Amino acid sequence: MRVLHGAIGLLFSTLSLLACSGGGSPETVAKKFAEATFENDIDTMYELIQLPDDIEGKEDRVRGKLQMMNVGAVAESTTKGGVDEIRVGDAEYNDDKTRATVQVTVKFNKDGEPERTQRINLVQDDGDWKVRL
């Protein structure tokens, strides 16, 4: 019984780490990034972006820029009654499949509001898919 509890705990820990990291398919990462954007979840956005090599000591500055970038999306979501649904299209890859573009469509709750479609660029970074800003 103890072994079963340990195995279940390990499984949940692994799933939690995967949910917070890049990884997965470009479509999965693009959707997570869009959800985090409209939820104003800067920590998740930060985990999903490709970071520059010289990031050490600049993390707060990058998070601040993400926060500033996000103001418009949060305001739009609020004005339009929040997000009803986020859909992603199939990834379009470059020739060597190290870069991808995913079309993301956001449907808002407020009746009559047009959907918003945007393309998210991603890049493979140490084996994980990351959003390229």
Residue partners of 22: CB distance under 8 A and separation at least 6: 29, 47, 48, 125, 128, 129, 130
pTM over 0.85: no
* Ordered structural domains, the chain, with CATH: 2-131 (3.10.450.50)
Residuewise pLDDT in 10s, the chain (133 residues)? 444 344 333 333 333 333 444 568 999 999 999 999 999 999 999 999 999 888 888 889 999 999 999 999 999 999 999 999 999 999 999 999 999 999 999 999 999 999 999 999 999 999 999 999 9
Per-residue pLDDT tens over the stretch 78-87 = 999 999 999 9
Alpha carbon distance 21, 103 (integer Å)? 21
Closest CA to 79 of 53, 116, 30: 116
Q: What is the pLDDT of residue 17?
A: 37
**Tokens representing 122?**
């991603």
